[in-house]
């Protein structure tokens, strides 16, 4: 995204963690991602949004063995 079109915060005001305590039920971000959002670069925000999309899709897909990234660390990018 460019400076003219910053990445929007994905919060939809459904702020509660899922039963596993890993992801927000509303935006599918981790607590670390939510807390770090204001300090993230635009590229980091794009990476987190990609992860939230994977998480959303996984919620509607039968479980299977995968190696998809599930969390943004802020250090080395998605793990």
Q: Rounded CA gap, 10 and 16, in Å?
A: 14
In a domain, 67, yes or no: yes
In a domain, 65, yes or no: yes
In a domain, 3, yes or no: no
Predicted confidence (pLDDT) per residue in 34-69, tens digit: 999 999 999 999 999 999 999 999 877 776 655 555
In a domain, 59, yes or no: yes
Q: Give the predicted TM-score (pTM) of the model.
A: 0.73
Number of domains observed in the structure of the chain = 1
Predicted confidence (pLDDT) per residue in 6-34, tens digit: 999 999 999 999 999 999 999 999 999 99
Residue 63 domain boundaries: 11-79
In a domain, 1, yes or no: no
Q: Rounded CA gap, 8 and 10, in Å?
A: 6
Alpha helices in 1-79 (DSSP H): 31-36, 42-59
Q: Rounded CA gap, 22 and 55, in Å?
A: 11
Lookup result for tokens 């925000």: 45
């Amino acid at each position: 995204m460019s400076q003219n079109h910053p990445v929007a915060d994905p919060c939809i005001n459904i702020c509660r963690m899922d039963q596993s305590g890993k992801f927000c039920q509303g935006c599918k971000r981790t607590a670390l991602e939510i807390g770090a959002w204001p300090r993230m670069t635009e590229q980091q925000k794009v990476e987190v949004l990609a992860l939230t999309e994977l998480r959303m899709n996984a919620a509607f897909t039968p479980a299977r063995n995968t190696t998809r990234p599930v969390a943004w660390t802020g250090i080395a990018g998605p793990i």
